[in-house]
Amino acid sequence: MTEPSALETLADLRAEIDRIDGEMHELLIERGEIIDRLIAAKARQGGGSAFRPGREADMMRVIAARHRGRLPLDTVESIWRVIIATFTFVQSPYAVHADMSGGDATMRDSARFHFGFTVPLLGHSSPDETIAAVAGSARPDGGGDLGMVRANWRPGEGRWWEALAAEDAPKIIARLPFVERPDHPAGMPVFIISNPLAEAAARDVALFAAQCSGEGPGDAALRAAGCESLARAPAPWGVSLFVAAPGYWDAARLRGALGEGTQKATWLGSHAERFALA
């Protein structure tokens, strides 16, 4: 960093800005040149999906913890999210399918904040349609598209999480935005859905569907067990729950925690713990 001088002129400062801009651009070009080597290395190791939600979460934690100065963290978060999403697209093209049933303005804001404009954005009329589109995009090499659904469930959406229950169905791999604060510019919480990943999942929080007889355990009982109720919908067998639990839990442990009325519990995916901005 250049030390400031009392005799600096506007021309001096603009020249310094131009130098920094040039260096940033060159570094992005250099980052892009690594992609071909990355693709070749991955091919030697048998291929696989370009999505690495665990690594992305680790990168964002480092960036959020390191950040300082006048530039808002929201801007830094969006820049890095778009860089990650775009270079992933360059490595293996994909689209983002988004549930627009609650109005498309906030969903589009979230999609563009996190994925930019290079990655195609396709709207759908329900969470179920969004999940089906992701499932239909699966490729033999482990690639495919991503989906976005609202994390805040509304009763009219039905029991969409049950569409993730089959072993080969898409799974939740992230919850965005990663940086948590009340006035976030793309603050609507969303789940990111992908076809099953073989590795590199973030497992801070595990997500499950639970089939319970009667009314099932109440929200207070779930909290006491260390879980969170994300959605609760009537079902032919009683109630269908969408539950968040500690990342190391499996379906058997959740069934035990929910009690005898729980007929079935199924793992739906996982995500990284959000970064709470003080």
The pTM of the full predicted model, rounded to 2 decimals, is: 0.90
Q: What residue spans define the domains of the chain?
A: 49-200, 208-266
Phi-psi group of 103: left, alpha or beta (phi > 0 → left; psi -120 to 50 → alpha; rest → beta): left
Structure tokens at 82: 């778009």
pLDDT of residue 188: 92
pLDDT of residue 55: 87
**How does pLDDT run across 205-222, given as a tens digit for each residue?**
999 999 999 888 888 889
Q: CA–CA separation, 175 vs 165, rounded Å? A: 18
Structure tokens at 217: 């355990």
Average model confidence (pLDDT) for the chain? 89
**How does pLDDT run across 129-144, given as a tens digit for each residue?**
999 999 999 887 667 8
Low-confidence stretches of the chain (pLDDT < 50) are: none
CB atoms within 10 A of CB 211: 23
pLDDT of residue 211: 94
pLDDT of residue 157: 83
pLDDT of residue 199: 66
CB atoms within 10 A of CB 95: 18
Cis-peptide, bond into residue 177, ω within 30° of zero:
yes
pLDDT of residue 29: 93
Helix 53-66 vs helix 73-91: crossing angle, to nearest 10: 150
pLDDT of residue 41: 81
Contact criterion met (CB below 8 Å) for 129 and 100: no
Handedness of CA 209, 215, 220, 221 (dihedral sign): negative
Q: CA–CA separation, 211 vs 265, rounded Å? A: 6
Structure tokens at 246: 């500690």
